[in-house]
Homo-oligomer: A and B are copies of this chain.
Amino acid sequence: MAATINKQILLLETPKGKLEESHFRLNEGAIPAIEEGQILVRTKLISLDAANRAWMQGATYRSAVEAGTVMAGGSISEVVESKSKGFAKGDLVFADTGWQEYAALPEKVATKVAPMEPLSHLLSVYGIAGLTAYHGLLDVGKPKAGNTVVVSAAAGAVGSIVGQIAKLKGCHVVGIAGGADKCKLLVDELGFDEAIDYKAESVNKALRTKAPKGVDVYFDNVGGDVLEGVLFNMNDYGRIACCGAVSQYDGAAPAHGPRGIPGLIVVKRLTMQGFILYDFDDQREAALTDLQAWVKDGKIKVREDIMDGIENTPKALIGLLAGTNVGKRMIRV
């Protein structure tokens, strides 16, 4: 191993308001030594996710990221040294390595993955994004053919796949995204039936014409006003799969919740259900088999948004929270 420096991005302080580059610092650390049962990995592709921001706000389904430590984040990495029977040099793994070039990991926190071309698909359609879209839509949202499905952050990593799966299940699909370019992409390239630019029009009003039969399933990535706008258009017995609340991650205190809760939940007999991908771990292989077949048949087009250089990771996350990405954003290290 020629390298002796481990470039890493530290979170300097817990942001109270909007996340800024000044909250981070590039550090040149040492390449860690590993102990028995551990592996040393070199990160290749770091995944950027809205959830990264939520982790800074406090403990969620994982502990909070503490100020002064390496920023947490998942990546595809290559094993460069192993003191574990389960891993050999050259193996590819997915793990929370954090934002750094090298990480020492206990063997149990790394998941071995098979090499593929392009490798980036392991973080997009075959990674957390694709599997979240798959289980959230099919197992939580439970759309039936002919249903109207709405998805927010529709040009993002998860939303772009949700909409395409809903289409191939025979649904009328409406994507909500910010900006005319993204909306055009949804309809022209990804096959959505309709798109709503939430920055330019009222979601509530636009749905009256773009979802004329009402909304049966809403896959919510954003919460806030968009959720409120969709709520008013839900059909009786509609289902809302709560995947995230990106509109509320990058600020100090949580905003007030959407009007219509719980009033509309009651009168329309809606179900709102939160989920996290880990709840579906036992169904992972079946989901991947479906996703691979759909990608191979051209039924799902995979959009990725890859930037280079670990020093750009803070900027990449800040942009993602502002919605500058199209498809799955990642950093090639």
Contact = CB atoms under 8 A, between A and B. Distances in A.
Interface of A: 54, 60-61, 220, 223, 227-228, 242-245, 248, 253-276, 279
A262 B223 contact: yes
Question: How many copies of the chain does the oligomer comprise?
Answer: 2
A220 to B, nearest CB: 6
A58 B269 CA distance: 17
Closest 7 CB pairs of A and B: A257-B257, A257-B261, A256-B256, A265-B274, A266-B274, A60-B267, A242-B262
A271 B269 contact: no
A258 to B, nearest CB: 5
Chain A binding surface SS class: loop
Contacts of A54: 263, 267
A265 B260 contact: no
A318 to B, nearest CB: 20
Contact of A259 (B256, B270, B273): B256
Nearest to A279: B269
A61 B269 CA distance: 9
Most buried by B among A223, A242, A275: A242
A263 B248 contact: yes
A220 B265 CA distance: 11
Given A256-B256, A257-B257, A269 B262 contact: no
A270 B262 contact: no
A142 to B, nearest CB: 13
A53 to B, nearest CB: 12
Nearest to A253: B259
A262 B275 contact: no
Given A254-B259, A254-B260, A265 B269 contact: no
A275 to B, nearest CB: 6
A236 to B, nearest CB: 8
A267 B261 contact: no
Given A227-B261, A271-B273, 11 more contacts: A223-B263, A228-B257, A245-B266, A248-B263, A256-B259, A257-B258, A261-B261, A268-B274, A269-B273, A271-B271, A272-B273
A257 B257 CA distance: 4
B259 A257 contact: yes
A265 B266 CA distance: 17
A59 to B, nearest CB: 9
A58 to B, nearest CB: 10
A241 to B, nearest CB: 10
B61 A261 contact: no
A275 B279 contact: no
A267 B223 contact: no
A242 B266 contact: yes
Contacts of A244: 266
A269 B260 contact: no
B259 A265 contact: no
A274 B223 CA distance: 19
